[in-house]
A and B are shown apart, each in its own frame.
Chain A
């Protein structure tokens, strides 16, 4: 092998090694940081998996905030409400500031884990305007939605 070729070979090998390292890093980072979206029914019926119901896995809970389910102690930040997909309801507890667009009867996506049968949320996202429901929530809830007509619940003012 002449020197030019050898240098090229080294270059290609280095590039391949770098690509392999990068692929491994990216795959592991993805693995650790993706969060699946489940509906209350999937969590409670166990189809979401053991890791989810045991509280081991961090996941996103999607659904509608159930009407008349919002509770808060006077003067305290901790809020409790139930998220429903029409088939099942799951209790959620959250001790930070809720987003402006949070309302009963509206779509919500919360990130967190299960603890003692309650979903402890670290982060709550509400829909972004009056007509918009996150597409993934809409997809997941499509059937239940149609059956139970969840959307037609009168929007209660939860934040005022």
Chain B
């Protein structure tokens, strides 16, 4: 009974989305207040209905209702309770329902916090979100119904994919989806602005926190995915340039460009058209990500079973969204007002370079990700693009960006004497270079990467702190949350660079055959293998290895890498044993038994790997803190950005 109610709620939610799209958009065009007023109630109704549908599916999992096909496919009577809740998004149909619920939440949030927008703008923004919701909900209802019955009911469920029975997996997908779908707000705003024919700085100010929050969640989602892959896949890597990782990384890159260009447009009026284009691109890339993951066209660790019908649906949806948005852009963008002119040496130029580099990096990732599809379509053979392609080009594109990061905040809008910010930063540049040289000669291996990592992180970190110090010292000027967010985000880059480059340079890996009592040495570390014991988990049996790790003869920890065999499907899964440290992780994963009491063991020392995620965490925090700035909630219709106010100092304290 409950699943049928869920199904009905889903259909009614689709109806609510239809109302939310049709009436407000038509009302805004014809200036009918009553029609526009439909938008808010429809948004709230849609969220309530989606919550019901979601609750119904969750109930089916908790009660182990194996007469629902999706539950029978992704649950099992042995499945621990907490994973019954998370199994809801363990496969395609439920993920899409969660995705739709997230869209519903953003939608209702926009409906509640848009009261300061003029009615036609609010109606258009909500109307566009309604259109997107129609797409998602019809996809759910017509191609991926999670409530489909299985008759006769299965006696036992098939089990949740063991890889997903993990705490990291509980929060990774929701965070990622919140981020992905959050880009619908700037997208809807961009479409509304194009329909309106003008980009008002006040509305743009209203969208900025939304973009920052969405980007922050996307950052968290990607970070959690990376962390999960690190300890769960047993390879000890934190990024693989896998198509599905790329699918989430592309909107992240464009989103990062978007939060910068939005700031320029809001404060200076420049880049208006470009900001709208980026907003369209960020959301389109989120949809493209959905297509790549859901249609199974690419070989990836994340691929779900391929279903051409679904692929076709998303492809059509994608074509409609991107085609429609771009057509509107081409028609309306030339009429948008131009921003104020700026000199070659100015903050605008720096942010333009930032945007070009991030967009280029995104295009590079897009090409590498889609190249196998293109080659297949053009009959050039079945190819895959290796990680070195992405790694090399990404470093080439990001190096200039990293060099410019500290300069941005210290440079004035419109016109700047290049020598001024450079003079402020010169001592720190010198310090960074000296430390890099020291690191080059001290590094036990990979000296070039180590030196690059030390230089880049010291330069970005101290350069960012230099700005913060300048601002704090200057009396009478507020240090706004917007600035704090920026400082956190840029400091996050510095921390991330330490992790990313140093772990690449200093990582040591050994794959060895070990018998009980054997010791393997990696540098100052020693791993003693004490054999393997059998342990019984709730729904699996595991071989648990005992590996004692010590550094310089002092015992650090006992690692317990596991090889689990799940009772239901006989799937084998690796669970790495990791001793986390601020400066290095020691990592052990079991391979297979090699006979004669020996086991294949993968041992690794991963210096600074935690810094990768700490950096990402700081960046996400930066996005959230920025969104808290009260300036974005200001009611007054003040003239767009008078010169030299707000978070953008036209006269940084250091220059006065």
B511 touches A101 (CB 8 A): no
Contact partner of B389 (CB less than 8 A), chosen from A29, A75, A130, A160, is: A29
User: What is the number of contacts between chain A and chain B, taking CB atoms within 8 Å?
Assistant: 109
Say yes or no: is A147 at the interface (Cβ < 8 Å to chain B).
no
A77 touches B600 (CB 8 A): yes
| Closest residue of B by beta carbon distance from A155 | B570
Q: What chain B residues lie within 8 Å of A29 (beta carbons)?
A: 388-389, 392-393
Q: What chain A residues lie within 8 Å of B513 (beta carbons)?
A: 75-77
Write the B296-309 contact mask toward A (1 if CB under 8 angstroms, else 0): 11010101111000
- Interface locus among A80-88, A113-121, A131-139: A131-139
Contact partner of B592 (CB less than 8 A), chosen from A37, A97, A140, is: A97
B382 touches A139 (CB 8 A): yes
Q: What chain B residues lie within 8 Å of A90 (beta carbons)?
A: none
Given A109-B299, A135-B296: A34 touches B161 (CB 8 Å cut-off) = no
Q: What chain B residues lie within 8 Å of A159 (beta carbons)?
A: 572, 592
For window 473-524 of B, CB contacts with A under 8 Å fall at: 511-513, 515
Shortest C-beta distance, B484 to chain A (Å), equals: 34
Q: What chain B residues lie within 8 Å of A32 (beta carbons)?
A: 388-389
Contact partner of A34 (CB less than 8 A), chosen from B385, B572, B592, is: B385
| Closest residue of A by beta carbon distance from B234 | A100
Contact partner of A25 (CB less than 8 A), chosen from B296, B393, B563, B589, is: B393
For window 99-148 of A, CB contacts with B under 8 Å fall at: 100-101, 109, 128-132, 134-136, 139-140
Q: What chain B residues lie within 8 Å of A44 (beta carbons)?
A: none
B382 touches A26 (CB 8 A): no
B388 touches A33 (CB 8 A): yes
For window 367-426 of B, CB contacts with A under 8 Å fall at: 367-368, 371-372, 375-376, 381-389, 392-393, 396
Say yes or no: is A1 at the interface (Cβ < 8 Å to chain B).
no
Contact partner of B306 (CB less than 8 A), chosen from A36, A98, A135, is: A135
Given A25-B396, A75-B598, A128-B301: A34 touches B574 (CB 8 Å cut-off) = no
Write the B344-372 contact mask toward A (1 if CB under 8 angstroms, else 0): 00000000000000001000100110011
B386 touches A34 (CB 8 A): yes
Say yes or no: is B595 at the interface (Cβ < 8 Å to chain A).
yes
Say yes or no: is B254 at the interface (Cβ < 8 Å to chain A).
no
Give the docked Cα–Cα distance between A96 and B3 (Å): 47
Say yes or no: is B544 at the interface (Cβ < 8 Å to chain A).
no
Say yes or no: is B569 at the interface (Cβ < 8 Å to chain A).
yes
Q: What chain B residues lie within 8 Å of A134 (beta carbons)?
A: 299, 303
Interface size class of B (residues with CB under 8 A): 35 or more
A77 touches B594 (CB 8 A): yes
Say yes or no: is A152 at the interface (Cβ < 8 Å to chain B).
no
* B305, B384, B565: residue with the most chain A Cβ atoms closer than 10 Å: B384
Given A26-B393, A98-B591, A101-B572: A129 touches B602 (CB 8 Å cut-off) = no
Contact partner of B368 (CB less than 8 A), chosen from A30, A37, A75, is: A30
Q: What chain A residues lie within 8 Å of B572 (beta carbons)?
A: 100-101, 159-160
A97 touches B296 (CB 8 A): no
B383 touches A36 (CB 8 A): yes
Q: What chain A residues lie within 8 Å of B385 (beta carbons)?
A: 30, 33-34
Give the docked Cα–Cα distance between A130 and B163 (Å): 13
Give the docked Cα–Cα distance between A74 and B512 (Å): 13
A34 touches B383 (CB 8 A): yes
| Closest residue of A by beta carbon distance from B513 | A77
Write the A35-79 contact mask toward B (1 if CB under 8 angstroms, else 0): 111000000000000000000000010100000000010111100
B389 touches A33 (CB 8 A): yes
Q: What chain B residues lie within 8 Å of A97 (beta carbons)?
A: 511, 589, 591-592, 600, 602
Q: What chain A residues lie within 8 Å of B573 (beta carbons)?
A: 100
Q: What chain B residues lie within 8 Å of A60 (beta carbons)?
A: 382, 384
Shortest C-beta distance, B206 to chain A (Å), equals: 33
Give the docked Cα–Cα distance between A159 and B599 (Å): 11
Give the docked Cα–Cα distance between A35 and B594 (Å): 31
Q: What chain B residues lie within 8 Å of A77 (beta carbons)?
A: 511-513, 591, 594, 600
| Closest residue of A by beta carbon distance from B388 | A33
Given A75-B515, A77-B511, A132-B303: A36 touches B389 (CB 8 Å cut-off) = no
Given A34-B383, A36-B383, A75-B515: A26 touches B367 (CB 8 Å cut-off) = yes
Give the docked Cα–Cα distance between A32 and B396 (Å): 16
Give the docked Cα–Cα distance between A98 and B599 (Å): 12
For window 516-534 of B, CB contacts with A under 8 Å fall at: none
Q: What chain A residues lie within 8 Å of B388 (beta carbons)?
A: 29, 32-33
Write the B542-584 contact mask toward A (1 if CB under 8 angstroms, else 0): 0000000000000000000001010001011110000000000
Say yes or no: is A9 at the interface (Cβ < 8 Å to chain B).
no
Q: What chain B residues lie within 8 Å of A140 (beta carbons)?
A: 382
A37 touches B591 (CB 8 A): no
Q: What chain A residues lie within 8 Å of B638 (beta carbons)?
A: none
A74 touches B600 (CB 8 A): no
Contact partner of A75 (CB less than 8 A), chosen from B364, B565, B596, is: B596
Give the docked Cα–Cα distance between A62 and B568 (Å): 28
Give the docked Cα–Cα distance between A39 and B376 (Å): 16
Give the docked Cα–Cα distance between A74 and B598 (Å): 8
| Closest residue of B by beta carbon distance from A138 | B306
A75 touches B594 (CB 8 A): yes
Contact partner of A30 (CB less than 8 A), chosen from B299, B301, B389, B571, is: B389
B382 touches A36 (CB 8 A): yes
21 inter-chain pairs at a CB distance below 8 angstroms, sorted by A residue, are A22-B360, A25-B396, A26-B393, A33-B385, A33-B387, A34-B385, A35-B383, A36-B381, A37-B381, A60-B382, A72-B594, A74-B594, A76-B513, A97-B591, A97-B592, A101-B571, A101-B572, A129-B571, A132-B304, A132-B305, A136-B299
Since A97-B600, A135-B299 are in contact, a sample of 10 more A-B pairs with Cβ atoms closer than 8 Å, ordered by chain A residue number, is A60-B382, A60-B384, A75-B515, A100-B573, A101-B572, A130-B569, A131-B305, A135-B296, A135-B297, A139-B382
Q: Which 5 pairs between the two chains have the least Cβ-Cβ distance? A: A97-B591, A37-B382, A33-B389, A33-B386, A75-B598
B residues within 8 Å of A by Cβ? 161, 234, 296-297, 299, 301, 303-306, 360, 364, 367-368, 371-372, 375-376, 381-389, 392-393, 396, 511-513, 515, 563, 565, 569, 571-574, 589, 591-596, 598, 600, 602
A residues within 8 Å of B by Cβ? 22, 25-26, 29-30, 32-37, 60, 62, 72, 74-77, 95-98, 100-101, 109, 128-132, 134-136, 139-140, 159-160
